Structure 1
Amino acid sequence: MKTSIIGYPRVGSLRELKFVSEQYFKGEITINELHRTGAELRAAHWKTQQENGIDFIPSNDFSFYDGVLDTACLLNIVPARYQALGLSPLETYFAMARGYQGEQGDVKALAMKKWFNTNYHYMVPEIDDSTVIQLAGTKLFDEFQEAKQQQVATKPVVIGPFTLLKLAKYTGTKQAADFVGEAAAAYAAVLEQLNTLGAAWIQVDEPALVTDLSPADLALFSKLYEQILSAKGTVKVLLQTYFGDVRDCYQTLQTLPFDGIGLDFVEGKESLALVKQYGFADHKVLFAGLINGKNIWRNQYKRTLSLIEELSASVKQIVLSSSCSLLHVPYTLKNESRLPDATKRHFAFAEEKLQEFAELKAVLAQPNPYAAAQYVHNEGLFNGTRFTNNEAVQAKAAALTEADFTRLPAFGEREAIQKAKFNLPLLPTTTIGSFPQTAEVRANRFAFKKGSITEEQYKQFNLDRIAECVARQEAIGLDVLVHGEYERNDMVEYFGECLDGFIFTEKAWVQSYGTRCVKPPIVWGDISRSKPMTVEYSAYAKSLTSKPVKGMLTGPVTILNWSFPREDISLQDSAFQIALAIRDEVLDLEANRVAIIQIDEAALREKLPLRKSDWQSEYLSWAIPAFRLVHSGVQAETQIHTHMCYSQFSDIIRDIDAMDADVITFEASRSDLAIIDTLNECGFQTEVGPGVYDIHSPRIPSVDELKQGLQQMLDKIDIAKLWVNPDCGLKTRGEQETWASLEHLVQATKEVRAAL
């Protein structure tokens, strides 16, 4: 049986691409040096896959920032404001990704959203009525030829036209259907060029097919591919889906002349049933996604072999594939020196998943696969139970009642009590929590972990930074302050390190967006809190000022969603255990006179099922209660904030309101404040802080720009309900741009207040 992967991680096993890209952004290296690192990484990835016997190796899965943005540039979807800068192609590309502020002009970045149900962020293509979709770039072809020169035959990968048009933002009167002809012609041109270059296969990714599809969607999809496939020539087309099943279009895929169809059998609940019910065309190849591309646990060969056996009854040609791109898991276990071998044997990162492909290929080649040595060895991993049991935690979670999820008094009464207590001005200003993690801050944390400084020295450094941060926030006039989070490496990793039941890696980085990488904790057992995690620093910050200081916590759903969860217990069980632990921290903060507590749920929408029919039964029925469990025990005077970022919230606004927070801040700067209309339509009661500027871009917003944004908000939001804040935490930004932006934010707010 042949093997295939959908995509491979691209930032480098030690984040080489991140560091060289940031050097390029700072002007410390040339564009040639950046390209050289990219070429070195691609060569290493292809070689590793080739050495592990992968038959269908992807190319063009590498990106300097984002694959959707790569596809937009390939197809000439570059808004005029970026073209007008007169920059080189790569500089224009980065201006679209990060924004640009310099001699050539001042433009914001494209909008950024979560990639389906993952923590990866993609850049939203922007199409206006003047856009001409046509083949304009060469990256896809260049990388195919680059691999070919290294004696590696690849299948080029590209985001498909249906997904691209569905994800795009339309700023004129035209919509997706108006661009079908141009898009189909552009993709046909891609196929023609690959025919000329001698490509055997192309992988066209269409993850949008696993969402709820309307008759209009199906008509759009069919119209696109009827035109595209009529010009495909000798190159074979693999229609690749992932993150779910294709129940709305399975039969359509069978009738269109695709040579291969990639289906997800990990997250695709109905994938096997669809194959059994409708069969699979004999002349097509099934690329069966059976190796989990989103989690790090070893594949259970027994389950995989059983599925292959079932599929073989209906499918003549099967290729063993990953369920999605391996972009969503770390590179390799080779960099993990601290984890014991007995623990590591349970895990498979990207490189180890390649070894699983090789082992499964060898097992399937045996006359009796179930007796093969690799199979027997693998099964030994799955004979035990939970790795770390805590019966007290399990009993506490089992004893929860409805009262534990209900906060009293109701919101309206609390709101009046809190306004009287805090006596904040109209349009209170604050930040989302974190301040820049400078080289000195990171060095202090590293020195403590390495043991080269004492705990006392480590803490004193952090206390000094907190004092400086509080004083500076007071000086510029912010109304609600934060301590800056100098002790935290990451908003999830930090709490995972403080809680029992998680284990941690050294260098298991996963790309979140662009150069931003995260190192997710791993849920190893029952989760609990053995001691306070944030109280000391938050209480110290509160002692320095008469202004309110927010205690900063990460919520249970985000901690779980940004960790690698267990596969043998329910997400609800893990979420409630985490919620009970964070609840203890909330109550300790309150007891230490921290009267405003922000519980971030940045990833609330991230794991929402891609089909609306599954939202309540599979997710919201426990995710929203998990958040309520965290704060339901506080006094009416304690104000609960939460924060969410870079997701589409409009369709779950009522559920977000049901979280029963007092203030919700969220990303709005890249989305033209569209969510505010939805808030009003739903009668949203919670006070809100739509982000007034984009912190994921290095550009500094002007006072006038911020005033204009505030005026737009005030046209739609009651001034008594509106907070003023950036759209996310500031840890990734530089000191100068951070403080300049905040000074502008405060000045703009003061001028708007005065005008009112």
Structure 2
Amino acid sequence: MAGVRSSNLGYPRIGEKREWKKALEAFWAGKIEEGEFQQTMKTLRLHSLEKQKQAGIDFIPVNDFTLYDHVLDTAAMFGLVPERFSYKEGKVPLSTYFELARGNQGAVAMEMTKWFNTNYHYLVPELSGQTPNLVENRPLHYYQEAKEELGIEGKPVILGPITFVKLSKGYDKEQLKEVVQKFVPLYKKILNELKEGGVEWVQVDEPILSTTLSREEIELFKEVYEEFQRDLPELNIWLQTYFDSVDYYKEVVSLPVQAIGLDFIHDGGRNLQHILSEGFPENKVLAAGVINGRNIWCANYAETYQLLGELLRNVGSGRLIVQPSCSLLHVPVTLKLEEEIPQLLKQNLAFADEKLTEVIHLTECLNGADHEAIFLENKNSIEKLNQSEIRNNTQVRKGLEQLLFEKPSKRDSFDVRDAAQKEAYQLPFLPTTTIGSFPQTKEVRQNRALWRKGERTTEQYEAFIQAETEKWVRLQEEIGLDVFVHGEFERNDMVEFFGEKLGGFHFTKFGWVQSYGSRCVKPPIIFGDVTYNGPMTVKETVYAQNLTEKPVKGMLTGPVTIYNWSFPRQDLSKEQVMNQIALALQKEVEALEAAGIGMIQVDEPALREGLPLKKEHWETYLQIAVNAFQLATGSVKNQTQIHTHMCYSNFEDIIESIDALDADVISIETSKSHGELMRSFEDYTYNKGIGLGVYDIHSPRVPAEEELIQNMDRALRVLDPSIFWINPDCGLKTRGETETVDALKVMVMAAKKAREKFSFNIQ
């Protein structure tokens, strides 16, 4: 290999204008046939590959494209379909594939959780009672497609066997080696067919190597990859890690593979330190992840070039590849459509296409090209933004400085608060509520779009929102819920809505990224100091409260989630930015309380996902997160009940930190994973209010009453029934109106039967 070369690890699937999402939802709705759907997806897939080819990328990934989720793709490739779905053998049909993701009237969808510490969700493979079998070689198909259609000699991407198994469920963790060994022959078959098909390099993703592993697990890596090398000596395996450093550096770089991919952005400098102190094998290629694949800020060319220079001196030009730190699925597609971003900010941004350009610029420079003018322009843009007034707000900075001397406000003990709240609200045993949002119908979205375009006046739009709110207040009364919400019809996204009202944020028009399935979000850009500009939710919440005697929860998104679901600035620490957001939210919490709202829900669905991959860093992160939440919520009166909500993550490891948030009521998604979390509560006594989601809102199915009662029974065997709330597992924004009402009616009836079963005296 002559000179430094360029690579990409994965490209956004959704298209420049979310064409992918629109095709998916049209197919699900029966508006297009399977043939048209598949052709649309192929067109998008090939367009993405062509863009990478035109950018000049040497190693272009194939098989990173998916119709829903790449982990689900891997499970389907091995025929891993749970028994509750109607599947026998052979290639998994498209209908079954989507039922695995979305469920059907007779079967619950596969569990969904976060992809490491990102806001992408993957579907958790179920291995219990199943024998894996290779039913489709997806990587080979997409390699052949790229070669035949575009003349691209692609680099097939495969999720590695150990990462795949460790991300799965349904087996005893002590049997990891035994389970992995069941997959090794199947992986060898995939790799052998790729080799016979003419593939030169295969990217095998093993991001689990960036987590905290045991010595036995590292030995398992050695055994597996030695077997690959022994049986496939002519195939070049590119072992790819990302999201953090590798702890067992010597062992990892000694694995019998031809290239090692390391993340030099999110590694805390440890990967570089390993190379400088311990060297890098002379018989391997280093794929250096030096362009941030998870944030939208442009690379600092001078700093990145210096880093690459150090790597070059230790590795050699013929064995160095420049690439992003991870797949670019975590960033929007292109900046070219963004015409409304201020020039200074835009000069400091890089979406997927621009990141590929950065990879090329750096690769060319290392190979001798003169890009001095580009480097100088980059340096000046970064300095100008850092020195701007928006990043140096005196009032905000003084507030942060004060935090160095004061701890967040501490409320009275939960027992004192609980007594005050019980007297204030007189709720029944096992109170019922929802998480916050109600269906955002086509009419809701159309009215918002017309208002934003100026084709509806603010008065007309607000009247529409009030009408929707009143409709759903009446529906909640009809359904029989105990605690109401206003429905959030005025909101687009739970983070974007607040970012639009706070200072220091900016928004894109087409800056979408995939969250799960067809669900795409448009993360705000936190580019300046965060300021509170006035009430954000008070008007709509008070309007709803005036329509009913039942309590209506005020609904806010918490500081940790706003940070984790935004593209945060990089010139301040995580703690500084979170605290800026918390200070602003504190003012909104106090404004709601002053307006007579007695229950305020501050959602933190992203708290768990931000947990560092290394366990030794957990305590620091969790302390920052807890402090920020308490700063936002800790100044209210005892009778003001603080709720929070978390979803789609594994919470077992952070129960103590969840407790430390000191919320009066917490709701957690567990509809698909009750058993796992229940085991945690067997070992940890939780005495505050808690609601464990009793049905899955991401499936269009209406749950059976018996199913919900079973979920409640399981929880009430472990938790004190007097603290238990009953609710869906997440917001209902994406569901249809009829199914939402029907499901909530079932939930309320199940709650009534649970009350009778436990024979409590309900006053």
TM tier, smaller: over 0.9
- Separation in 1 of the partners of 2:705 and 2:323? 52
Q: CA RMSD in A?
A: 1.5
Conservation of the 8 A alpha-carbon contact between 1:6 and 1:58: yes
Offset of residue 73 of structure 1: 1.3
Deviations 1:414-438 (A, max 9, x none): 1121112111111100000000100
- Separation in 1 of the partners of 2:162 and 2:341? 43
Aligned to 1:439: 442
Aligned to 2:272: 272
Give the length in aligned residue pairs: 747
- Separation in 2 of the partners of 1:635 and 1:429? 23
Q: 1:551 to 1:418 in 2, by over 3 A?
A: same
- Separation in 1 of the partners of 2:257 and 2:568? 35
Match of 2:348 among 346, 350, 356: 346
Conservation of the 8 A alpha-carbon contact between 1:404 and 1:632: no
Aligned to 1:36: 39
Conservation of the 8 A alpha-carbon contact between 2:162 and 2:180: no
- Shifted more, 478-487 versus 391-400: the winner is 391-400
- Separation in 1 of the partners of 2:669 and 2:749? 21
Offset of residue 390 of structure 1: 1.4
Deviations 1:697-747 (A, max 9, x none): 111101111111111111111110100000000001111111111010011
Offset of residue 256 of structure 1: 2.1
Match of 2:745 among 743, 746, 754: 743
Offset of residue 445 of structure 1: 0.8
Aligned to 2:205: 205
Aligned to 1:336: 338
Aligned to 1:698: 700
- Separation in 2 of the partners of 1:473 and 1:47? 51
- Residue 223 of structure 1 aligns to a residue in which SS? helix
Conservation of the 8 A alpha-carbon contact between 2:674 and 2:711: no
Aligned to 1:323: 325
Conservation of the 8 A alpha-carbon contact between 1:195 and 1:233: no
Q: 1:637 to 1:6 in 2, by over 3 A?
A: same
Query: Is residue 45 from structure 1 mapped to residue 43 from structure 2 by the alignment?
Result: no
Query: Is residue 674 from structure 1 mapped to residue 663 from structure 2 by the alignment?
Result: no
- Separation in 1 of the partners of 2:545 and 2:172? 49
Alignment map for 1:95-114 (pairs within 5 Å): 95-101=99-105, 106-114=106-114
Q: 1:386 to 1:462 in 2, by over 3 A?
A: farther
Alignment map for 1:531-680 (pairs within 5 Å): 531-617=534-620, 619-680=621-682
Aligned to 2:133: 134
Conservation of the 8 A alpha-carbon contact between 1:667 and 1:690: yes
Conservation of the 8 A alpha-carbon contact between 1:407 and 1:631: no
Aligned to 2:761: none
Deviations 1:201-257 (A, max 9, x none): 000000000011112211222222222222224221000000001122x21222221
The residue identity in structure 1 corresponding to 2:8 is I
- Residue 178 of structure 2 aligns to a residue in which SS? helix
Conservation of the 8 A alpha-carbon contact between 1:285 and 1:318: yes
Aligned to 2:735: 733
Consecutive unaligned residues of structure 1, counting only runs of 5 or more, are none
- Residue 683 of structure 1 aligns to a residue in which SS? coil
- Shifted more, 142-151 versus 386-395: the winner is 386-395
Conservation of the 8 A alpha-carbon contact between 1:701 and 1:744: yes
Conservation of the 8 A alpha-carbon contact between 1:550 and 1:595: yes
- Shifted more, 553-562 versus 401-410: the winner is 401-410
Alignment map for 1:455-470 (pairs within 5 Å): 455-470=458-473
- Residue 747 of structure 2 aligns to a residue in which SS? helix
Aligned to 1:161: 161
Alignment map for 1:150-189 (pairs within 5 Å): 150-171=150-171, 175-189=175-189
- Residue 227 of structure 2 aligns to a residue in which SS? helix
Query: Is residue 392 from structure 1 mapped to residue 392 from structure 2 by the alignment?
Result: no
- Residue 231 of structure 2 aligns to a residue in which SS? coil
- Separation in 2 of the partners of 1:682 and 1:276? 44
Offset of residue 507 of structure 1: 1.0
Aligned to 1:145: 144
- Separation in 1 of the partners of 2:701 and 2:223? 41
Aligned to 1:512: 515
Offset of residue 679 of structure 1: 2.6
Offset of residue 171 of structure 1: 4.9
Consecutive unaligned residues of structure 2, counting only runs of 5 or more, are 759-763
- Separation in 1 of the partners of 2:198 and 2:115? 32
Q: 1:414 to 1:528 in 2, by over 3 A?
A: same
Conservation of the 8 A alpha-carbon contact between 1:3 and 1:320: yes
Aligned to 1:527: 530
Query: Is residue 91 from structure 1 mapped to residue 90 from structure 2 by the alignment?
Result: no
Conservation of the 8 A alpha-carbon contact between 1:201 and 1:235: yes
Conservation of the 8 A alpha-carbon contact between 1:556 and 1:576: yes
Matched-pair identity in %:
47
- Residue 157 of structure 2 aligns to a residue in which SS? strand
Query: Is residue 473 from structure 1 mapped to residue 472 from structure 2 by the alignment?
Result: no
Conservation of the 8 A alpha-carbon contact between 1:597 and 1:639: yes
Query: Is residue 300 from structure 1 mapped to residue 300 from structure 2 by the alignment?
Result: yes
Offset of residue 126 of structure 1: 0.6
Offset of residue 11 of structure 1: 1.1
Deviations 1:659-698 (A, max 9, x none): 1100000110111342133134122222110000011111
Q: 1:306 to 1:174 in 2, by over 3 A?
A: closer
- Residue 528 of structure 2 aligns to a residue in which SS? strand
Aligned to 2:25: 22
The residue identity in structure 2 corresponding to 1:642 is T
Offset of residue 386 of structure 1: 4.5
The residue identity in structure 2 corresponding to 1:53 is G
Deviations 1:84-132 (A, max 9, x none): 489961111111111122xxxx11111111001100000111101x322
- Separation in 2 of the partners of 1:413 and 1:678? 26
- Separation in 2 of the partners of 1:473 and 1:277? 64
Deviations 1:281-311 (A, max 9, x none): 1111000000100000111111111111111
- Separation in 2 of the partners of 1:434 and 1:201? 47
Offset of residue 751 of structure 1: 1.5
Alignment map for 1:47-66 (pairs within 5 Å): 47-66=50-69
Conservation of the 8 A alpha-carbon contact between 1:69 and 1:123: yes
Conservation of the 8 A alpha-carbon contact between 1:695 and 1:729: yes
Conservation of the 8 A alpha-carbon contact between 1:462 and 1:487: yes
- Separation in 1 of the partners of 2:326 and 2:490? 35
- Separation in 2 of the partners of 1:306 and 1:172? 46
The residue identity in structure 2 corresponding to 1:99 is G
- Residue 381 of structure 2 aligns to a residue in which SS? helix
